[in-house]
Amino acid sequence: MSWHAAPAEAWRALGANRLRTALTMLGMIIGVGAVVLMLAVGEGARGTVTQAINAMGSELLLVSPGASSSGGFRFGSGTASTLTLKDAEAVAQLATVSAVAPVFHSGAQLVYGPRNWNTTVYGVTPDYLLVRSWSLESGQPFTLTDVRRGTRVALLGQQVARSLFGDQDPLNQTIRIKSLPFRVVGVLERKGQSLDGRDQDDIVMVPINTAQTKLFGNPFPGTVRFITVQARSAELMEDAEADIEQLLRGRHRLAKGVENDFTIRDLTAVAETAAQSARAMTVMLGAIASVSLLVGGIGIMNIMLVSVTERTREIGIRMAIGARHRDILLQFLLEALLLCVLGGLVGILLGMGGSQLVSELAEMTVIITGDSIVLSFLFAASTGVFFGFYPARKAALLKPVEALRHE
């Protein structure tokens, strides 16, 4: 049989029993739809993580103080006050480091007019914006002079600006933080969620000296809560980590064998882990959806086997008038393939629609990639060939005389 005549024959055969064709195809539609949907959800989760990683800033090391102990009680890490502004300045001199941002933060109540809001106040230096790759939506950042003088100026995160000012422009307005007046000099750009799910826009930034001396009254003057360090390049991350450790051990006069009184965390590694788990989720979701595709494929094999039995006489007639093995094989294989390809196409549309629905109802990010469409389609087609082959072969190997005798 010529190649272009065979698809028409297959189409006719499928059209002969429309209900059965539709029901068989449904298995394929659901399978492919599920694969497209699950890949879209997985890709969406990955996209969210990637976005969070990009928002965090790159090549970052987080240096935090070690655990404190008092009278035999050991507190959690970061509770000691072993890191100082001087440490930060010393770290900034390292060749492997490009920027250093010490942070002193604490919670505080904010008031503007009749409204108030509780948030985290970050005492930072101008470099903090640099290492976090965070820019301003409006206004100007404060300067090193502001830090030195302990000026009462503030940068508002999006969430804080909205909570205190609504639609009003916060620039140059005066808010009160712990009843001290601060002038709003800028509004930060939206940053979104962090990897651990915190709202990073719920923040106020003030000069670090202002926070330490005027706002929170530091029991250990000059200490900071943590230092964010940016390495000069991704390759220098480990070198920078080693340099910082060596430097700080020297500055803190830690003898050999004594534990570090600080910890250095590679935020890139944290991000990497998050990205990996997101990838794993995509794979897992795809694998689960593939099971339904497999079930759909088995449904097709089942129906094709029934079809071969039902049409044994037809096969006999075709053989009697000159159909070769491969003509019969091709005919049934094409029917299975056509079922899968049509079901696959409908399934792709369904999966795309479903993804849209999920993104709207569950407010999740879903990303449909061309790859996932092509992948699902190829998967559907190969399912057709795979599960269609056995029934088709069974049909082709029938003996003409026996097939003709079949009622």
Partner 1 sequence: MTLLAPSGLRVAAPPTGARDESEPLIQVTGLCKEYPLAGGGATPVLRDVRLAIASGEFVALMGPSGSGKSTLLNILGGLDTPNAGDYRLAGQAVAALSPNQLANLRNRQIGFVFQGFNLLQRSTIAENVALPLLYAGVGKAERQRRARELLEQVGLGHRADARPNQLSGGQQQRVAIARALANRPPLILADEPTGNLDTQTSEEIMALFSRLNVEQGITLLLVTHEPDVARYARRLVRFKDGRIVHDGEVNV
Per CB under 8 A, residues contacting partner 1 are: 1-2, 5, 12-13, 16, 313-314, 316-325, 327, 399-401, 404
Q: What CA–CA distance (Å, rounded) separates 380 from 343?
A: 8
Q: What CA–CA distance (Å, rounded) separates 107 from 121?
A: 6
Q: What CA–CA distance (Å, rounded) separates 252 from 88?
A: 13
Q: What CA–CA distance (Å, rounded) separates 46 from 277?
A: 9
Decide whether 74 or 313 has the Cβ nearer to partner 1: 313
Closest distance between partner 1 and the C-beta of residue 15, in Å? 8
Q: Which residues pair with 399 in a beta bridge?
A: none
Closest distance between partner 1 and the C-beta of residue 404, in Å? 7
Decide whether 105 or 318 has the Cβ nearer to partner 1: 318
Closest distance between partner 1 and the C-beta of residue 392, in Å? 16
Give the residue carrying structure tokens 């509770």: 79
Q: Which of 243, 115, 226, 92 is nearest to 168 (CA)?
A: 115
Closest distance between partner 1 and the C-beta of residue 277, in Å? 54
Helix (H) or strand (E) holding 265: strand 262-266
Q: What is the DSSP letter of 235?
A: G
Alpha-carbon torsion, ordered 231, 241, 105, 127, to 10 deg? -20
What is the Cβ-side half-sphere exposure of residue 407, based on CA atoms within 13 angstroms? 0
What helix, strand, coil percent values describe the chain, rounded to 5? 55, 20, 25
Cα–Cα separations (whole angstroms), residue 360 to 49, 120, 351, 355, 371: 19, 31, 14, 9, 23
Closest distance between partner 1 and the C-beta of residue 314, in Å? 6
Closest distance between partner 1 and the C-beta of residue 326, in Å? 8
Q: What CA–CA distance (Å, rounded) separates 116 from 109?
A: 7
Decide whether 195 or 317 has the Cβ nearer to partner 1: 317
Decide whether 10 or 184 has the Cβ nearer to partner 1: 10
Closest distance between partner 1 and the C-beta of residue 6, in Å? 9
Q: Which of 123, 111, 146, 154 is nearest to 217 (CA)?
A: 123
Q: What CA–CA distance (Å, rounded) separates 156 from 164?
A: 10
Q: What CA–CA distance (Å, rounded) separates 40 from 19?
A: 31
Closest distance between partner 1 and the C-beta of residue 11, in Å? 11
Decide whether 301 or 323 has the Cβ nearer to partner 1: 323
Closest distance between partner 1 and the C-beta of residue 301, in Å? 22
